[in-house]
Structure 1
């Protein structure tokens, strides 16, 4: 899937809106899919140039439910909801609708984070004051070997 910058999208949408040329003809002229240009035109008509600003987002459960509720109340299609709510991923609303139908609101919630791994214990569990001379020498040798290994990686 190609990515287009906001200026290009705005140019194409303006041309399709302000000229008597059809959306299909504009799409053909720029070598784009008709549905892509149609989506850009709808975004431009609804939000103006601000609709083309990139917004990387992850959507929380409340937002997803609000989108689905609005679709049900107003009879919006997935494409219309995507444009109305300025959702960057055209297929996201369809996925949300499918997940909601299969598992309800819980299916839309983000998965719980994986359990944290316990931290490794350091090599020496005793404070240096309690270690014998041999233990201290072994730890120094270990730390020197570790330092040498890390230097080789660079």
Structure 2
């Protein structure tokens, strides 16, 4: 199992900084040396799932869970990024 690229402390600091309204995604990303997409993903995951949303996951899901995601995403016209955030999946590529 791979080690996460950024620590939970870093992810939490990024989310707190952004939500405090100090900077937008671009400047927050520059300040912490992370990608802008990571800032957006972590903030959305935090808003939907709290701390569990930004905690590293192994993405081993049951077949029933996978089917729920596969059926719900097109039915609700969710993008892969939106589906990942909604179902608390680590990354849209996993969807």
Answer yes or no: same fold by TM over 0.5. Answer: yes
Larger Rg: 1
Segments ≥4 residues shifted beyond 3 Å? none
What's the counterpart of residue 71 of structure 1?
73
The number of residue pairs the alignment matches comes to: 93
The DSSP-based 3-state class of the residue aligned with 1:35 is helix
TM-score, with structure 1 as normaliser: 0.54
What's the counterpart of residue 46 of structure 2?
44
| Aligned pair partner of 1:84 in 61, 79, 86 | 86
The DSSP-based 3-state class of the residue aligned with 1:92 is coil
Residue 20 of structure 1 and its aligned partner are, at CA, apart by: 4.2
Alignment of 1:1-154 (within 5 A): 3-93=5-95
Residue 83 of structure 1 and its aligned partner are, at CA, apart by: 1.3
Change (3 A) 1:53 1:32: closer
What's the counterpart of residue 110 of structure 1?
none
TM-score, with structure 2 as normaliser: 0.84
Q: Which runs of 5+ in 2 are unaligned?
A: none
User: 2:84–2:92: 8 Å Cα contact kept in structure 1?
Assistant: yes
* Segment of structure 1 superposing worse, 53-62 or 76-85: 53-62
User: 2:73–2:83: 8 Å Cα contact kept in structure 1?
Assistant: yes
* Higher helix content, 1 or 2: 1
- The structure showing larger relative contact order (alpha-carbon pairs under 8 Å, at least 6 residues apart) is 2
Task: For 2:71 and 2:30, locate their aligned partners in 1 and report how far apart those are by CA, in whole Å.
Answer: 36
